[in-house]
Amino acid sequence: MTDFNKKNAGSDLKEDLVKVKDALVESGLHAKDQIGEALSKSIDDLTERTDSIQKTLEKYVKTRPFAAAGIALLTGLILGRII
């Protein structure tokens, strides 16, 4: 192999490596965006669920305050025994 061919092969290899690097960076950025979107959606869903649970509990406590207090007392006693 002549020096000219070696230089061309080295240059081609460098160009290929740059292309591979650029493709990896692009796919990494794309994956980051997808993960961010999925995480944002999960947080929104979780927020909705906790708001719904809170409203349900508030409604239950308002309609049955003595039952709610009894449940809270019983739960406290059970947890106190366990801990």
Per the structure, the count of domains in the chain is 1
Question: What is the residue range of 15's domain?
Answer: 3-82
Q: State the DSSP code for 45.
A: H
pLDDT of residue 8: 65
Q: What would the two tokens of residue 43 be?
A: 């947080």
pLDDT digits (tens, 9 = 90+) for 4-45: 555 566 678 888 888 999 899 999 889 998 999 999 999 999
pLDDT of residue 37: 92
pLDDT digits (tens, 9 = 90+) for 54-67: 999 999 999 999 99
Residue 20 CA, distance from chain mean position: 28
pLDDT of residue 12: 81
